[in-house]
Amino acid sequence: MNGKQNHLMKRYMPGIDGLRAISVLAVIAYHFNLKWAQGGLLGVGVFFVLSGYLITDQILLEWKRNSHSIWNFWMRRFRRLVPAMVFMLISVALWLIFTDPSRLLSLQGDMLSSIFYMNNWYLIFHEVSYFESFGPASPIGHLWSLSIEEQFYMVWPITLFIGLRFAPRRGKLMLYILVLIFLSAMAMAALYVPGTDPSRVYYGTDTRAFAILIGAALAVGWPSWKLDERISSTGRSLLDITGGLGLLVLLTLMYRTNKYDDFLYPLGFLYLSVVSAVIIAVLAHPASRLGGILGCRPLAWIGKRSYSLYIWHYPVIILMNTDAANKEPDFTRTLLQITVILMLSVFSYKYIEEPVRRGKFRAQLHSIKHNYSFRPIIGLVLTVLIYFRFVSWITASAEVQPGLSNPVIAEKITLDDSQDSSSKDAGGEPPEQGEGVTAIGDSLILNVAPALEAMLPGIIIDGEVGRQMSRAQDVVNKLRANGKLGNRIILELGTNGSFNKTKLRLLLGSLKDAKQVYLVTTRVPENWQDSVNEDLKEVAGEFQHVNIIDWYSASANKNGLFAQDGVHLTPEGSQYYASLLAQHMKQDQS
């Protein structure tokens, strides 16, 4: 009996910490807007699978040892997760009280929903986009993923214990979990509309649950406490090769994937979850050499503090970036931010997370009180607060522009030649100046619509907030069917993310009868800006009837044209943008 109990012991898996490290570093690199880490958001998906595996593995072990208790499980999760997050939220609130009180007021809903681990649904119901936030980002916008995990921690033990009661055999239990995986994956497939903002399916517990459940299914079929390190050399080599290939696929996905890729929804995230499960299966095996490699001391150190790094990195990045429109990586600023992230994460892990988790928090406070002086720390904090308050004040003063106003954004408008049919522009041009011109775009074209229609009376403008290039073909087909597609077409798309060049080629091929098609380059403080502009120019060069209107170059060093988000325009900017488009149309007509 004692031998059996000793065999049923939870063991440390260093390779799992190594995978945690890779995942959190990918997420951090993504939030730093590093161009080689556009797929770093996939690290969150890996964490989902890891959570599903480790939690289910632990519950099954406790069930096997007859030591299971839902209440004890919840209390362990509470001690592990809540104190550090609450400390971070309090710190962010105190920071904003000193530096930007109005911003703190706007975060009340985010903070309250985060404390109760419902932030993802709060963002869904308030239609907050994960992908199209050009203005100042929420410093706690990353907590949506923790909400999904905590919801899982609350529901899954009960569900699993019921399943174990009625389906004690692993095969039957696995089948039930696979059904849940299928339903969740189908929910993502059903709710995702290609070419539109995918935030609903990205945030949803229902649409992301399959990742956690795939980890849970792995734990049922591959429990860590049943794996034996005594396997053949061939079996060990097969494990390492499989894990190595899986890791290569994962890193390739993180390097090549863009958050707007249609591939991600739904098949991409499902594929990522399966690949992650394969890697976890290898790392969980005691005979795996790959587990030892990923469990090396630097990666293990980061992995153990991955939760601290995750909760602290985003508020530091956002709050230390005083220029919301400037998201380009800056070496000095990035180095300073990384230093602050590490300091806060180490402090949180050592003095809050570990003491609370091990029931030694009071003893830790007593030790700190008697062994450390807080005067240098208080002095440092006040110095940093004063410095960033001063920088924020200088930046805000510099950004104030005469006539600055909020960008004009409507949900959707279509202006046709029935409006202002007799109007003339300032130069006395006839109304026919804009006839036969169709402009298709996103919120930016809506921003400039009044100025553009005044300069080109008769122009048809079809814009929609959040529109991506992949939706352009549907818009073209609809306009053509309604007889509103002109023979000179402006395509202003790319602000909201990169696109598939093959689809753009097909779109331009379908417009071969047009006299002229214009692709407008973009200026957006996001990591896809350069690739979008390069792709537009590359594809335009393949068609004789396609030209480029280079808004990116025309707006260089003209910060006064832009609203605070660095994308939408002031009234002066709208006039400038509209005149750029109108100039090309008039040149083409003359």
What amino acid positions are annotated as catalytic residues?
Answer: 443, 565, 568
CA–CA gap between residue 546 and residue 126 (Å, rounded): 40
What SS3 state is found at 462?
A: strand
The three-state (H, E, C) secondary structure of 279-345, written as one string: HHHHHHCCCCHHHHHHCCHHHHHHHHCHHHHHHHHHHHHHHCCCCCCCCCCCHHHHHHHHHHHHHHH
Contact 250, 276 (CB under 8 A): yes
Residues 6+ apart with CB under 8 A from 347: none
Tokens of 365: 């406070």
The amino acid occupying position 198 is P
Contact 189, 249 (CB under 8 A): no
Contact 52, 211 (CB under 8 A): yes
Contact 469, 494 (CB under 8 A): yes
* DSSP classification of residue 496: T
State the helix-helix crossing angle for 42-64 and 267-284, rounded to 10 degrees.
50
Handedness of CA 529, 533, 539, 545 (dihedral sign): positive
Look-up: residue for tokens 């995942």?
A: 23
Question: Do the bridges between strand 546-549 and strand 412-415 make them parallel or antiparallel, or are there none, so unpaired?
Answer: unpaired
Residues 6+ apart with CB under 8 A from 283: 13, 15, 16, 18, 19, 243, 290, 291, 294
Based on its alpha-carbon atoms, the radius of gyration of the chain, rounded to whole angstroms, reads 27
The amino acid occupying position 116 is F
Burial status of residue 196 (CB atoms within 10 A of its CB: 0-12, 13-18, 19 or more): middle
Residues 6+ apart with CB under 8 A from 281: 218, 222, 243
CA–CA gap between residue 122 and residue 113 (Å, rounded): 7
Q: What share of the chain is helix, strand, coil (3-state, %, to 5)?
A: 65, 5, 30
Contact 463, 449 (CB under 8 A): yes
Contact 443, 495 (CB under 8 A): yes
Contact 459, 439 (CB under 8 A): yes
What SS3 state is found at 463?
A: strand
What SS3 state is found at 499?
A: coil
If residue 547 lies in a helix (H) or strand (E), which one and from where to where? strand 546-549
CA–CA gap between residue 585 and residue 219 (Å, rounded): 62
